[in-house]
A and B are shown apart, each in its own frame.
Chain A
Amino acid sequence: MNAPAYNFAYLDEQTKRMIRRAILKAIAIPGYQVPFASREMPMPYGWGTGGVQVTAAILGPDDVLKVIDQGSDDTTNAISIRKFFGKTAGVATTTATADATVIQTRHRIPEAPLHAGQVLVYQVPIPEPLRFLEPRETETRRMHALGEYGLMHVKLYEDIARFGHIATSYAYPVKVNARYVMDPSPTPKFDNPKMDDCPALQLFGAGREKRIYAIPPHTDVVSLDFEDHPFTRYRFDAPCALCGAGDSYLDEIVTDDKGGRMFVCSDTDYCESRQSAGHRGSESAAPHKERAHG
């Protein structure tokens, strides 16, 4: 039987070259979706194969990798992807945002500000921001070519007419470098402002849809809006029940079936760092007691 032997970071060198060339083009044309010959990865499409391929193409032995899903290092898919790179590339991994050189993420941008030299790799399910307005690739490609985004504005405006607000709360479209309308991946719109003028390089990989795109550091990223309906962030108006943070995006935890709920940071590293620095929320355990529960 043909027993498999795998390369450093799993992908073969030819595949890495192809992806690397796509990444360079993506950086040179901010917000443009570069088609690439996405490979069939040993994890399902829709579970981060695009992000995994981008990470595999850039990762080196000196990198320190952090993987998050929903802001957390400890969700099963994040663990699974982190283990994959631990096994195939032997790289160091971390949960600390500041210590990571490469951060692969699904659905969140970390709360701690990113710094120069870091690369944030997003897992993207549907890279085409116009896809739900126009299902045909041939059409959306033409719209991007002409910079013709009227359809998107009409959609957002129809929301306002119907609901009084733009009814998009995640994967909220942005305009990059005043040219391409881009899907930021299904991050909550709370995270959108972090993409603007970010010191880190942001790379986006969509495996099933075979697209890579990028935002270079310090690039203008503007959330689409209207003068009379400006873009607003949303976070539940409460401090984190564990660390007391009043500026972080919150997960809602249902605590019983009688309407009981509490709100805690979605970014677990941010929350834990704050707790170790002594910040406390309404539901915090005493530090020693918590340790005992380990």
Chain B
Amino acid sequence: MYVAVKGGERAIENAHRLLAHERRGDRDVPELSLPQISEQLSLGVDRVMTEGSLYDRELAALAIKQARGDLIEAIFLVRAFRATLPRFGATEPVDTGAMQVRRRISSTFKDIPGGQILGPTFDYTHRLLDPQLAGGFSPETPAVGEASATATPRVTDILGRDGLIEPSPAADADAPVGDLTREPLNFPADRDLRLQNLARADEGFLLALGYSSQRGYGRNHPFAGEIRFGEVEVEFMAEDAGFAVPLGSIALTECQMVNQFKGSATEAPCFTRGYGLAFGQSERKTMSMALVDRSLRARELGEEVIAPGQDEEFVMSHSDNVQATGFVEHLKLPHYVDFQSELGLLRKLRQEFAEANEAPQMQEAAE
């Protein structure tokens, strides 16, 4: 006698209880607090905010805790929450030129106004596991300098004064702000939507594509004009008041890549730009983003589209890790019905194959 499988509802409830138990881990070990995550796993929080498209350290920390440290799962949690939030409008464009800089480096000039500021970086650490960190280590107080009163103009602005680099497109306050989370995406997509897509894109995916462009798959000769990380003010235009109201400040990383030339018989040659921007300190992300942004400008700059990183439909359709993980993992769901249909077809084809191959032999035997 056969009884069909039942009890899925209880299975789900039990699975959730078990998940919660596993998430907590050994109860003799103190539970993680959100400030611990936010303060001590801050780059993970930055990534979740960036790819989750929501600047909220506390929620990102909660998501990381809930996701047991799985950052893509945490990004998913933040995105799903973000989708339910009401929209009040778009802020004024942030001015990264006025950033309170904590780190700023340029690989194109030895010295620049505002100076090179190494800041908090893994760059020159020797990657030797540090046993001191295993517990109870209290680091030295960092050296504190004076905040510079002089401005730190963007390297691209310095190049731009001499016309050596293409100008940044002028801001148009009346132009609608594209938002691919609110409108369906159509191809070809404009750069605003491409940049939004890249900002939300999986860091690993952009890293691989940016890397492929460096290795010759749609090479675009980049220099890291500048990478800066620090705080910028966010302002919102209050229609009633008639002026922009400051909402607070957020930490951003910006990368401007300087790439090889465009120009024509009528236009003097100049460098071209690739742009990357992310919440918090996200250098790998912004550098990869800037490489891919520049690659995706192939069509606009009259370059031949030959590599995956230049193909906007390919890049934009596959960059989102929440979409990608959902579809890859949906293969876990039952597919018995389709599989049964395939089995039926395959059995029939095999039977026909067997009959076809048997027939001549039988004929031979008869002869």
Contact = CB atoms under 8 A, between A and B. Distances in A.
Within the complex, are A and B direct neighbours (CB within 8 Å)? yes
Interface of A: 1-2, 4, 6-7, 10, 12, 35-42, 44-47, 49, 69-71, 74-80, 83, 106-108, 125, 136-138, 163-165, 167, 169-171, 186-190, 208, 210, 234-236, 241-242, 249-253, 255, 262, 264, 266, 268, 271, 283-285, 289-290, 293
A40 B313 contact: no
B181 interface: yes
A69 B334 contact: yes
Contact of A107 (B2, B3, B327, B337): B337
A130 B334 CA distance: 24
Nearest to A271: B4
A163 B76 CA distance: 43
A36 B328 CA distance: 22
Interface of B: 1-9, 11-12, 56, 58-59, 62, 76, 79-86, 180-188, 313, 317, 322-323, 325-330, 333-338, 340-345, 348-349, 352
Given A188-B340, A293-B3, A39 B333 contact: no
A221 B7 CA distance: 37
A49 B4 CA distance: 27
Given A69-B334, A107-B337, 9 more contacts: A37-B183, A40-B82, A70-B337, A76-B11, A138-B313, A164-B349, A170-B337, A251-B337, A285-B1
A104 B82 CA distance: 26
Contacts of B4: 74, 242, 264, 268, 271
B193 to A, nearest CB: 12
Contacts of B79: 40
B3 A290 contact: yes
A47 B330 contact: yes
B168 to A, nearest CB: 28
Top 3 A-B residue pairs of the complex, sorted by shortest distance between their CB atoms:
A45-B326, A46-B330, A35-B184
Contacts of A45: 322-323, 325-327, 330
A44 B326 contact: yes
Most buried by A among B8, B82, B352: B8
25 contacts: A4-B81, A4-B84, A37-B181, A46-B329, A69-B333, A69-B334, A70-B335, A71-B337, A74-B6, A79-B12, A107-B337, A108-B337, A137-B313, A138-B188, A169-B345, A170-B341, A170-B342, A186-B338, A236-B344, A250-B340, A251-B336, A251-B337, A255-B2, A266-B337, A284-B1
A189 B341 contact: yes
Contacts, number: 165
Contacts of A83: 9
B182 A37 contact: yes
Nearest to A41: B80
Given A12-B86, A46-B330, A137-B313, A252 B340 contact: yes
B80 A253 contact: no
Nearest to B327: A46
Nearest to A208: B323
A137 B187 contact: yes
A169 B344 CA distance: 8
B338 A188 contact: yes
Nearest to B53: A40
B337 A40 contact: no
B2 A241 contact: yes
Contacts of B184: 35-38, 210
Q: Which of B85, B335, B336, B352 has the most CB of A within 10 A?
A: B336
B3 A236 contact: no
Contact of B8 (A47, A75, A137, A165): A75
Contacts of A252: 336, 340, 343
Given A76-B11, A79-B9, A170-B338, A164 B3 contact: no
A167 B345 contact: yes
